[in-house]
Each structure stands twice: as structure tokens, then as C-alpha cells.
Amino acid sequence: MILGSTALDGDNLKLLEEDKDKIINKDPKAINYIKPFLSGGDYINGNKRYCLWIDKTELEDALKID
């Protein structure tokens, strides 16, 4: 309850918009594994961030992407 929807991944799966764009430009299939990541502060300040979101059933295909 204290942390709300805080991601506890050590910031390893979070992406800035320019990072997302680089990854997608390198391999468009990566778009399937990138989702918006929005906190209250991001919403208020107009920040755009993203995260890698890979379901365990998609892991094998996701690992084929550089």
C-alpha cells in the first residue's frame, strides 16, 4: 500500500522515450514488449516513460531481439 504501483526492478526495465525509439528502430518487433509506464508525477509533469513488459510465455521470442 505504501509504494502503490512502484516498479521494483532496480530501474532495469524502464525506458525513456528516446530509448524506446532506438530499440523499435533497430527491430520493430520490439514494440510488442514495450508498454507505457506512468506514475502520478509523470502524468502531472507530462513525462513519457516506458517499460519492457515480457510475459513468460513470450520470453523465447523476446530474447531473439537485440
Q: Tell me: the pLDDT tens digits for 18-55?
A: 999 999 999 999 999 999 988 888 889 988 999 999 99
How far CA 36 is from CA of 2, 48, 60, 65, in Å, comes to 22, 8, 22, 19
What is the distance between the alpha carbons of residues 33 and 58, in angstroms, rounded to a whole number? 9
63 against 39, higher pLDDT: 63
What is the distance between the alpha carbons of residues 59 and 25, in angstroms, rounded to a whole number? 20
Q: What pTM, to 2 d.p., does this model score?
A: 0.74
Residue 36 lies in domain: 14-62
User: Does 3 reside within a domain?
Assistant: no
> Total domain count for the chain?
1
User: Does 55 reside within a domain?
Assistant: yes
User: Cβ(44)–Cβ(19) under 8 Å?
Assistant: no
